[in-house]
Structure 1
Amino acid sequence: MKKLILVVLAVLITGLTWGQTKEDSSPNNSGKLQISAFGGLSMPLGDYKNEIGRAKNGYFGGLAIDQYFKGNKWGLGIDARFLNHNMRKFDTVFFANGYIAPEYINHASFQHIGVGIGPTYKSNFGKLDLEAFLRGGVLFQGFPQYKQSIYVNQAVGPSLNMADVYYTSNPKRITKAWMGLGGLRLSYAINNHWGVFAQADYLRTFGKRFGGDSSEFHITKYNQKKGLNATDVLNVKDNQITNLIDFYEEQTITQKTYIQAVNVGLGIKYTFGAKRKIAPVAPMTKAVAPPATGQPKDILVVVKDLQTGIALSGVTVKISRNSIDNTSISNADGQAERVKAAEKGVYQVTALKNGIAAMPVEIGLADFDKSGNVIYKEIFHDDPRFTLIGETIRANDNSKLPGIGTVLTNSGNSQNMTQISDAEAKFVYQLEQQSAYNIVANQAGKFSQTESVTTKGLDRSKTLYVTLKLGVNNLDAGAVFVLKNIHYDFDQSYIRPDAGRILDNLLNVMFQNPTLRIELSSHTDSRGKDAYNMRLSQQRAEAAVNYLVSKGVDRSRMIARGYGETRLLNRCANGVQCDEDEHQANRRTEIKVLKY
């Protein structure tokens, strides 16, 4: 990779030197040489973005040299750029006697270097230049390598990898492809030499092979017949899963994708040569409006929830007439973007949110004949589900923490949904009626409690939104966290099903952070004999550790400690009268980060 970058820089410097020499030796040649540096957002498209490539929005940056010919209209340009697209990672899926987990063999991202050459055309409008460019060349591609495997728990020892059900199958991790590139650049001249610009272009590879190498990204997988859930069991005999065909097809399929992306960025350029000639700007002529067919009016549409009458934000609203759509997203007051000075006619209003369409509304000629300058319409959206509006925050100071992965699990059917909190640290899920859910943070280096959310007992005709703040901690050495909602039956140490769901969150944290070592401790209140409390708390701590070991966590990464009543959190020592809530605060399970 370093050698390739040096070669690209050498080509650019050679082109720059050639252009300067040519221009200096030919004073009558008005063709200009410019060099540009740019960078910005790169957005994957098609199968490269979707289920084959799973590429996310990334970034790009590069350099370009354009040598214009006499007249400064046509030129020849060289473009060298770097693109990086991280991939969407897979979640770990648990079933009754095992789990499906991903393994990333190298960096989980696509990293490409493209070099292209081709024509450039420029139009000048005073201090503005509009440049169109086409490039053909080579994209040096770096692909991620990963696999998704089924692990089945053993009675003794770590879980066994029984099958790889989804994996990359690239003949080579680093390969090449023919590349096409086309785009527009709008620049503004700061002075005779320096300028700034905005640029948008489209890049795509083509051709199945480059030399003897495949140019496409390959994955191989078994198509899934149905998903594994928490109650499913995979039967193993002679190190083979005997009922795997109940869940997966028997034959693998291989899928391929080209690389393609739209890139939008900003840049700065330097132009060599004589002073810039500002082209005269044609005088502006006043536009003549077509004759009105009726009194124009503004159209204002407000979206509301049908059952509660609450204004809805984030709804896609279309106001259409004669196959022309005015599309916008409703704001916090439920208002779509106002259509100003709409001509008299018939308009259709539609709205869509969460895949559910509202009942359309029509604006007719009679609406234009009424008094007033604004036509106001309400459109009602009917989604029977509740809306969870959550926020990821730092547990230590409650400040917003954006970009955190979350997992919402339906307690009734164990179905999972995932989402990453946005730039405002918000995440939104739709909740079914009369259902209970658990939600946790799901990100390497982070830990959150398992929070409970329920719609049981809520009246949808009165309530639309459910809110939650999800506290997130860093896994720093020495940090101590209380595991909420871990309960044991009286005088017992076995793991109840409700406690198992809480420990499954900790299980996922251990899998995501393979270097993490913890102490898992159990504590009692002061009631009962000291020796009994110490023995019971040790048994409970060991039961929790044994549960995690049974799910595939190496025992050497955990220490079980029972502290009895030796680490009370409040005043409720032996002989002190306390209420039940005060005693409950002392009955707890904790984890302490020993190493990370």
Structure 2
Amino acid sequence: MKKLLLALMLFGITFLAIAQDRQKGDFQIGVQGGGSLPINDYKKIGEAKTGFYSGLFIDKYFNGNMFGVGVDARYIRNDLSKIDSFHFANGHVSTTYKNSARFQDYLFTLGPSYKFTKDRFHIEAYVRGGIMMQYFPEYDRTLTYSDVKGTYDYSIKSTQNDITNKANSWAGLGGLRANYMLSTHFALFAHIDYVRTFGTKFGSKPSQFSVKESVSTTTPITTSTTINGYLDHYEEVPIVKNTLHQSLQVGAGIKYVFAKESPKNVTLIAPDQNRYDEVVKTKVETKDLQIMVRDKQTDLALSGVIVSIEGSNTAEKSTTDANGLASKISGVKSGVYQVVGEKNGVKTPILTLTDADFNTSSAVIFKEIFHDDPRFTLIGETFDCALARNMPNINTVLTNSKSRANSSQISDAEGKFIYQLDAQSDFTLMANQQGQYSQTELVSTKGLDRSQTLYVTLKLGVCDLEKDGSWVLKNILYDFDKSDIRQDAALVLDNVVAIMKQNPSLRIELSSHTDSRGDGNYNLKLSQRRADAAVAYLVNNGIAKSRLVAKGYGESKLVNDCGNDVDCSEEQHQENRRTEIKVLEYVK
């Protein structure tokens, strides 16, 4: 196979060399390298993780320097995502790697190219087809358990390729390359492309990576799981899964261009100066346009603003980046243009450009517009309270504590969400997701100065509902020596109502606790009244009484050492004055 690849490479180079002699157009050669990001089944079934690649390419453009043909040769490596041993009640799961725990690929392709040129900037699009020589990892994932009869091993996932662990396949790639010409001959570039293999066989031999795997069921696994529970986690009959190579290649490099021609209708400033330091004889009547958006009250650069530019046969829209910059528009002709930005339903004043803005010596027209929204911006993140990492696709609900008006939003792929908050207002925020719960977090803009502060941040912990699980309700308070449900406590209990309605199999104990100060019998009765009042609130809001248990524990379950006659701070006593939820029954 290596000989075949070498022959194809020599053929491609010979073809391009002949084309170089016969056609008037650039001939270029470049070296590249960067990251290889596995996607789809290659990442899931193959367990491949982000790796790297390196290689070289050669392109020959024909007359006009727009269309051409090129060859590409690469070495691609993706290591395996190794899985640590998992121990349970009477056994463990482990993985034995029998060779280098990585995928190694040699790729050679040939195909057409297209180039768009604007001053020093060149954009190239290309499509290639060819052959990939693949080297696969080999491993066996084994379930080991022991009982009174002995120790037993079950293979739950193993590679199925032949003993050579290599295969050939047809392959293709397509992508874009953005170049900046440093001089007539040298250019720096960045590129992104998509690489994948095709087919199940190459000749008579399988060409895909193959594993035999026991499929997981819905039965959960914990460190206390017994072997029977672990075996119940897998289907009885394992299945064979195959995957193609699929990855995104993102990288950069440098290339050398064997340019033959100089541009026409230009005058060189000096005989030895490169062709990009030239003065065009005709008058330049266009300029580049760059718009920046700032927050009017804080003067901070504002991202996420949709900027619209219209006029003189131009209609452009783009969104500002983290630096408040909209996409630069190149080659704008002199004329009248209107520029406006919009974010969260609030528009900026209209900026009008005229011929006077074009009658300057600068090659770029730079203008700032100001967005004036009196509200604050809440930037939040939903995160797994057990694993302490962000969770995507979680439904969140924001409620105005005074008007009780609410709005909802689903966190994005990074676990982030954004709300607009009115000034001098209080809000509650919670997650509303089946099978999970969150605390009711309080957010306030009271006392904040909008001219000094634009963003408010918050992290919202989201936890799984589990039988026998429990949590303390934050921000639920009672007036001294009373059990009435206050308005702020009602907002917290509304979250409990939403959780109960989303999870109809959920049955809970709602308990109330006091600190150790005061008479013990009185504290017990007061805590029972408070628990009863909280349960009554849930019943009045549509939750069946049979799903609820009210329990007052008084001072019998302190969470610290602040018992009778112990000198403690008010904060330590507050830890004991709490309302808890305990899951009595729950079926997912």
The residue number in structure 1 matching 2:571 is: 581
What is the CA-CA distance between 1:475 and the residue it aligns to? 1.0
> What does the per-residue CA deviation read over 1:193-216, in whole Å, with 9 as the maximum and x for residues that have no partner?
946589xxxxxxxxxxxxxxxxxx
CA contact (8 A) 2:401 2:491 kept: no
What is the CA-CA distance between 1:586 and the residue it aligns to? 0.8
> What does the per-residue CA deviation read over 1:577-596, in whole Å, with 9 as the maximum and x for residues that have no partner?
12222211110000012232
Relative to 1, partners in 2 of residues 1:385 and 1:287: Cα closer, same or farther, differing over 3 Å? farther
> What does the per-residue CA deviation read over 1:498-557, in whole Å, with 9 as the maximum and x for residues that have no partner?
212211110100000111122211110000122221222122112211221222212222
Match of 1:439 among 429, 447, 453: 429
The residue number in structure 2 matching 1:555 is: 545
Relative to 1, partners in 2 of residues 1:320 and 1:294: Cα closer, same or farther, differing over 3 Å? farther
Name which of structure 1's ranges 327-336 and 298-307 shifts more when overlaid on structure 2: 298-307
Counterpart Cα distance in 1 of 2:374 and 2:313: 31
Match of 1:299 among 289, 314, 326: 289
The residue number in structure 1 matching 2:129 is: 189
What is the CA-CA distance between 1:435 and the residue it aligns to? 2.0
CA contact (8 A) 2:472 2:580 kept: yes
The residue number in structure 1 matching 2:340 is: 350
Q: How many pairs are equivalent? A: 347
The residue number in structure 1 matching 2:317 is: 327
For residues 56-95 of structure 1, the aligned pairs below 5 Å read none
The residue number in structure 2 matching 1:45 is: none
The residue number in structure 2 matching 1:221 is: none
Relative to 1, partners in 2 of residues 1:189 and 1:569: Cα closer, same or farther, differing over 3 Å? same
Counterpart Cα distance in 2 of 1:271 and 1:588: 62
CA contact (8 A) 1:407 1:417 kept: yes
For residues 105-184 of structure 1, the aligned pairs below 5 Å read 127=111
Name which of structure 1's ranges 497-506 and 354-363 shifts more when overlaid on structure 2: 354-363
For residues 353-502 of structure 1, the aligned pairs below 5 Å read 353-502=343-492
Counterpart Cα distance in 1 of 2:197 and 2:546: 55
Relative to 1, partners in 2 of residues 1:484 and 1:294: Cα closer, same or farther, differing over 3 Å? same
Specify the SS of the correspondent of 1:190: strand
Structure 2 counterpart of 1:525, one-letter code: D
Matched, 1:530 2:470: no
Relative to 1, partners in 2 of residues 1:196 and 1:322: Cα closer, same or farther, differing over 3 Å? same
Specify the SS of the correspondent of 2:475: coil
Matched, 1:313 2:303: yes
Relative to 1, partners in 2 of residues 1:435 and 1:292: Cα closer, same or farther, differing over 3 Å? farther
TM-score (norm: length of structure 1): 0.52
The residue number in structure 1 matching 2:96 is: none
Counterpart Cα distance in 2 of 1:286 and 1:544: 84
Structure 1 counterpart of 2:309, one-letter code: I
Counterpart Cα distance in 1 of 2:127 and 2:285: 41
What is the CA-CA distance between 1:300 and the residue it aligns to? 1.8
CA contact (8 A) 1:187 1:195 kept: no
Relative to 1, partners in 2 of residues 1:365 and 1:564: Cα closer, same or farther, differing over 3 Å? same
The residue number in structure 2 matching 1:511 is: 501
Relative to 1, partners in 2 of residues 1:292 and 1:404: Cα closer, same or farther, differing over 3 Å? farther
CA contact (8 A) 1:385 1:431 kept: yes
Specify the SS of the correspondent of 2:388: coil
CA contact (8 A) 2:171 2:195 kept: no
Specify the SS of the correspondent of 2:567: coil
Structure 2 counterpart of 1:515, one-letter code: S
Aligned-residue Cα RMSD (Å) equals 3.6
Counterpart Cα distance in 2 of 1:287 and 1:326: 30
The residue number in structure 2 matching 1:338 is: 328
CA contact (8 A) 1:293 1:344 kept: no
Counterpart Cα distance in 2 of 1:555 and 1:288: 87
Relative to 1, partners in 2 of residues 1:266 and 1:351: Cα closer, same or farther, differing over 3 Å? farther
Counterpart Cα distance in 2 of 1:569 and 1:286: 82
Counterpart Cα distance in 2 of 1:269 and 1:187: 15
Structure 1 counterpart of 2:457, one-letter code: T
Relative to 1, partners in 2 of residues 1:516 and 1:392: Cα closer, same or farther, differing over 3 Å? same
Counterpart Cα distance in 2 of 1:365 and 1:300: 16
Relative to 1, partners in 2 of residues 1:321 and 1:571: Cα closer, same or farther, differing over 3 Å? same
Specify the SS of the correspondent of 2:339: strand
Structure 1 counterpart of 2:129, one-letter code: A
Relative to 1, partners in 2 of residues 1:356 and 1:195: Cα closer, same or farther, differing over 3 Å? same
CA contact (8 A) 1:294 1:343 kept: no
Counterpart Cα distance in 2 of 1:323 and 1:510: 57
What is the CA-CA distance between 1:338 and the residue it aligns to? 1.6
Counterpart Cα distance in 1 of 2:370 and 2:391: 34
Structure with bigger gyration radius: 2
> What does the per-residue CA deviation read over 1:377-436, in whole Å, with 9 as the maximum and x for residues that have no partner?
101111222211111122245321121100111122211111001112111111122222
TM-score (norm: length of structure 2): 0.53
What is the CA-CA distance between 1:575 and the residue it aligns to? 0.2
Specify the SS of the correspondent of 2:491: helix
Counterpart Cα distance in 2 of 1:287 and 1:555: 85
What is the CA-CA distance between 1:456 and the residue it aligns to? 2.3
Counterpart Cα distance in 1 of 2:344 and 2:263: 42
Counterpart Cα distance in 1 of 2:131 and 2:315: 41
The residue number in structure 1 matching 2:67 is: none
Counterpart Cα distance in 1 of 2:585 and 2:111: 60
The residue number in structure 2 matching 1:140 is: none
Relative to 1, partners in 2 of residues 1:297 and 1:492: Cα closer, same or farther, differing over 3 Å? same
Match of 2:559 among 530, 550, 569: 569
Specify the SS of the correspondent of 1:535: helix
What is the CA-CA distance between 1:286 and the residue it aligns to? 11
Relative to 1, partners in 2 of residues 1:546 and 1:271: Cα closer, same or farther, differing over 3 Å? closer
Counterpart Cα distance in 2 of 1:266 and 1:593: 49
Counterpart Cα distance in 2 of 1:431 and 1:424: 22
Matched, 1:542 2:532: yes
> What does the per-residue CA deviation read over 1:80-104, in whole Å, with 9 as the maximum and x for residues that have no partner?
xxxxxxxxxxxxxxxxxxxxxxxxx
Name which of structure 1's ranges 398-407 and 187-196 shifts more when overlaid on structure 2: 187-196
Counterpart Cα distance in 2 of 1:313 and 1:286: 42
CA contact (8 A) 2:400 2:406 kept: yes
Relative to 1, partners in 2 of residues 1:472 and 1:271: Cα closer, same or farther, differing over 3 Å? closer
What is the CA-CA distance between 1:337 and the residue it aligns to? 1.2
CA contact (8 A) 2:129 2:171 kept: yes
Structure 2 counterpart of 1:190, one-letter code: G
Structure 2 counterpart of 1:189, one-letter code: G
CA contact (8 A) 2:312 2:335 kept: no
Relative to 1, partners in 2 of residues 1:323 and 1:383: Cα closer, same or farther, differing over 3 Å? farther
The residue number in structure 2 matching 1:246 is: none
What is the CA-CA distance between 1:346 and the residue it aligns to? 3.6
Structure 2 counterpart of 1:351, one-letter code: G
What is the CA-CA distance between 1:188 and the residue it aligns to? 5.2
Structure 2 counterpart of 1:422, one-letter code: D
Counterpart Cα distance in 1 of 2:431 and 2:282: 57
Structure 1 counterpart of 2:509, one-letter code: E
Specify the SS of the correspondent of 2:423: coil
The residue number in structure 2 matching 1:201 is: none
Counterpart Cα distance in 1 of 2:384 and 2:498: 20
Specify the SS of the correspondent of 2:497: helix
Structure 2 counterpart of 1:320, one-letter code: E
Specify the SS of the correspondent of 1:462: coil
Percent identity of paired positions between Structure 1 and Structure 2: 50
